[in-house]
Amino acid sequence: MKINPILQKDIKTKLRGWRSVILICSYVTLLIFILLIYFVGNDLIYSYTMPSFNPRVAIGGYNLLITFQFALLYLAVPAIIATSISSERERQTLDLMLVTKTPAREIIAGKILVSIAHILLLLIASMPVVGVVFFFGGIGFPDLLKLIFFYILTSLFVASSGVFFSTIFKRNIVSIITTYIFLGLMTFGPFLGFFAYSLLNQMTFSPTYRSIALSLFPSPVFGFLSFYFSGTSHYDIFGSYYGHGLFSSIAYEFEVLIASETGLLRYMQPWIVNGIFSVLFSLLLILLSSAALNPVRRKK
């Protein structure tokens, strides 16, 4: 099987030496530390009301870890990818790639694969830590696979946005800033729009899952909500209230709204809706980036 040469080169150079080993070890240590702090903190808080360890605390820990991973993915991928083409241009190696018989779309694909490979590496390295939750039940291996799949789709979306801006802007710094602004707008814009609309139409506004999905589908945070409430519920096995804050409450409302939905949408959880958008939008950005990179179409 032919591996994309750009991916091959990047893996070779990035994984050489101790730098990447130290990075991965630091990342896993950080996750362990976060989980430990969470467990110790919960043990202190609930030591009077719950004499024994509540397994749902582990699920809360899992939620915290995946949120941290998601935020890291969202913040780290643009930093890796948003300079991918512009740095080749600055290093004066872009022309040397374009003069080969590798088409522009394969160069773009190679750059995107590099960032997805980085994220996969960190995700796989963190599996033993995230897997701690298996000891307590509630989260299954398929849930984890589903989550990784969603992370990959989100990485694809973030990476294609980064590579697009990296292709159209010549300077690294401009490309990075534009990518973050764009991702910020795509992530929080739909929520702001939705809340603004609901505030303006308080009297008549009665949200359904369909209307929410149609408003929030571009935002990966909307998709991520699927995983945040996975395995958790508002009430514990004894019927006592056991909330995990704002996101769990929103997630719970979603569960209710999705259950009341009819047709295909009933089976389209937020991560599927957002995942489909991510794939389609990424394909569009890849096509646009390839066209912008194609030398005979460039005017300068």
Partner 1 sequence: MLHVENLTKRYNGTLAVDRLNMDIPEGEIYGFVGANGAGKTTTMRIIAGLLAPSSGKVFIGGIDVFKEPLEVKKHIGYMPDFFGVYDDLKVYEYMDFYAGLYGISKQKSRGLTDSLLELVRLTNKKDAYVDTLSRGMKQRLCLARSLIHDPEFLILDEPASGLDPRARVEMTEILKELRSLGKTILISSHILHELSELCTSIGIIDAGKLIASGSVQDILEKMSHANQVKIRVSSKEEEAVKILMEIPGIGSISSVVGVIDVNMEGGDEACVRVLKTLVERDIPVVSFQPVESSLETVFMQLTKGEEQ
Cβ atoms of 114 and 8 within 8 Å: the answer is: no
Site for partner 1 in 54-93 (CB under 8 A): 91-93
Q: Own/partner pairs for 228-236, CB < 8 Å, 24+ apart?
A: 228/63, 228/66, 228/67, 229/254, 229/255, 230/139, 230/143, 231/59, 231/62, 231/138, 231/139, 231/143, 232/56, 232/59, 232/60, 232/63, 232/138, 236/54, 236/56
Given the complex with partner 1, which of 23 and 72 has the nearer CB atom? 23
Residues that bind partner 1 (rule: CB under 8 A) add up to a total of 26
Q: Which of 95, 250, 283, 291 binds partner 1 (CB under 8 A)?
A: 95
Tell whether residue 98 is a contact of partner 1 (CB under 8 A). Answer: yes
Q: Which residues pair with 241 in a beta bridge?
A: 235
CB of 94 to partner 1, least distance (A): 8
Tell whether residue 298 is a contact of partner 1 (CB under 8 A). Answer: yes
Cβ atoms of 119 and 77 within 8 Å: the answer is: yes
Q: From 9-17, 44-52, 117-125, 213-221, give the range in contact with partner 1 by CB under 8 A.
A: 9-17
Given the complex with partner 1, which of 6 and 144 has the nearer CB atom? 6
Cβ atoms of 62 and 39 within 8 Å: the answer is: no
Question: Would you mind telling me the total number of residues written for the chain in this entry?
Answer: 300
With H, G, I as helix, E, B as strand and everything else as coil, classify residue 65. Answer: helix
Cβ atoms of 138 and 56 within 8 Å: the answer is: yes
Tell whether residue 18 is a contact of partner 1 (CB under 8 A). Answer: no
Q: Which of 24, 34, 97, 168 binds partner 1 (CB under 8 A)?
A: 97
> What is the Cα–Cα distance from 128 to 32, expressed in whole angstroms?
10
Given the complex with partner 1, which of 18 and 135 has the nearer CB atom? 18
Tell whether residue 15 is a contact of partner 1 (CB under 8 A). Answer: no
Given the complex with partner 1, which of 101 and 259 has the nearer CB atom? 101
Tell whether residue 21 is a contact of partner 1 (CB under 8 A). Answer: no
CB of 145 to partner 1, least distance (A): 32
Tell whether residue 102 is a contact of partner 1 (CB under 8 A). Answer: yes
> What is the Cα–Cα distance from 209 to 196, expressed in whole angstroms?
17
Q: Which residues pair with 235 in a beta bridge?
A: 241
Q: Which of 22, 33, 43, 103 binds partner 1 (CB under 8 A)?
A: 103
Q: Which of 1, 44, 99, 203 binds partner 1 (CB under 8 A)?
A: 99
* Binding residues vs partner 1 (CB under 8 A): 2, 5-6, 8-9, 12-13, 16, 91-93, 95-103, 295-300
